Amino acid sequence: MPSPSSPRPAPRPSPRSAPNALLDALLDEAGISHAGLASRVNQAGRARGLALRYEHTAVARWLKGQRPRGQVPDLICEVLAARLRRPVTLDDIGLGVPDGTGAGLPAPGTPLAGFVDRATALWRFDEQRRPHLGVAQAVTGTPAVMPVWEWENPPEDTDVSRDGRTRVSAADVAVLSAARAHYEQMYRRAGGLATRARIVGFLDAETAPLLRGAYGDALGRRLHRATGGLVAVAGICAYDSDAQGLAQRYFHQALRLAKASGDRGLGAYVVALLVNQSLFLGEFRQAVAFAEAALRSAGQRITPALSADLTAMQAKAYARLGDRAAALACVRRAETEAERISPGHEPAETGYVQPGLVNVQVAEALLRLGELAAAHEHAAAAVGTPAHDRGRVHRLAVLCQIELRRGEPERAARTAVEMTERARGMESQRLRDRLRLVREHLLASGAGDAREAARLIDGALRVPMRAAR
């Protein structure tokens, strides 16, 4: 899981200028062109005694966010309902009462079918690289808390079956599960910037038709679980690209999909991603509360690995809040849970909790508390444990910071050199933030070896990454 660092708030776009993602996605699902919709709306209008002369240019304006006048929104619903063979409301086409939620972030209590339409609309817009998505801020307060509250509390989904054009099979679900593992590994090797476009393209082209397809309740729950795992990785990639509002939308989607699947453990994993993002955004009390919700709601279904990670992140949050006693209590619980981890009995999603991860999380909490000897012991143990390159960069960065705090600039410089070499070639905004932070600490030490290591980091940072979408 990515490690939090100092946030950089981005401007929130005006909701009035936002494109109509829901209408765009429904047109794609229905297989209707802009000109085709205009013609059908004109025909439906004539049946009501209206003389309409819309062309494809009018539909293009609607998709850009302009609201059609008079009875036209109702006519659009009528046309799409006939084509899709299911009811279509004004909310479904993005022309209901504005609630500020936008595509991909439905209002609380939205039925599952409506949620699916909004979720797939977000994937389509992200795949099209719509710029307003990448600069959206993460929501705070009640809008941030409600998805977790809805996951934790009734009502449950009694039947997730759906009638659609594409007949879904067990083999389709297996493909989605394999894709999640593939993109997770790609993220670990290359970073979120490089992986995001690929996984979003897969969600739009391959996953959306299945989620909108035909399946019974049992297969549908497996489908929602597999989709939830994929969407969670898409959120991680958006987080790593510093698109925080988009990442949060993906995490909220994954949480709703987890609830539909009936898998409480998957939901707790998604909440852990929200805890991590809350730490990054400086929402420390929210991080504590979310972790408590995951631990409480998952109950016996939570695995030792996930329990250890959630508790270690709570320790970091309490340390940032200045609650020393609570932080140390969480450290002890995290260490106890880590000893119970059995990799062969963990689900695929918790594979990120590799040996040493809890050590580095605890080391960060102890560093914040000023417990330098214990922090160094945990950080050294984390670095001494095999890990993929991304995880190793994070562990080395924490060890470097602790060595500098302990007055060991020569050791810190050697650690920083290894960290920089490991980070080369990764397209990750979070890792670049980590490198910058270590560079600042190295320069502040004033030691010759440390300054030389800082210059090496400068060289690595000058290598440009592809622009975040």
Q: What is the pLDDT of residue 107?
A: 60
User: What's the mean pLDDT in 389-402?
Assistant: 93
pLDDT in tens, 281-297: 999 999 999 999 999 99
- The fraction of the chain above a pLDDT of 90, given in percent, is 66
Residue 177 has pLDDT above 50, yes or no: yes
pTM of the full structure:
0.83
Alpha carbons 210 and 219: distance in angstroms, whole number? 11
Alpha carbons 403 and 397: distance in angstroms, whole number? 10
Residue 16 has pLDDT above 50, yes or no: no
pLDDT in tens, 325-382: 999 999 999 999 999 998 788 999 998 898 899 999 999 999 999 999 999 999 999 9
Within a 10 A sphere around the Cβ of 389, how many other Cβ atoms?
17
Best-predicted range by mean pLDDT (38-42, 134-138, 385-389): 38-42
User: What's the mean pLDDT in 378-404?
Assistant: 93
Alpha carbons 399 and 121: distance in angstroms, whole number? 43
Task: Tell me phi and psi for residue 419, to 5 degrees.
Answer: -60, -45
- The fraction of the chain above a pLDDT of 70, given in percent, is 92
Residue 92 has pLDDT above 90, yes or no: no
- How far apart, in Å, are the Cα atoms of 315 and each of 174, 290, 326? 37, 13, 7
Residue 384 has pLDDT above 70, yes or no: yes
- Spatial neighbors of 387 by CB under 8 A, at least 6 apart, are 354, 355, 356, 357, 395
Say which DSSP state 302 is in.
S
Residue 308 buriedness (CB in 10 A; 0-12 / 13-18 / 19+): buried
User: What's the mean pLDDT in 184-213?
Assistant: 94
Q: What is the pLDDT of residue 106?
A: 57
Alpha carbons 161 and 84: distance in angstroms, whole number? 16
Residues forming beta bridges with residue 214, ordered by sequence position: 167
Q: What is the pLDDT of residue 9?
A: 41
Six-digit token pair at 214? 């035909």
Residue 101 has pLDDT above 50, yes or no: no
User: What's the mean pLDDT in 380-388?
Assistant: 92
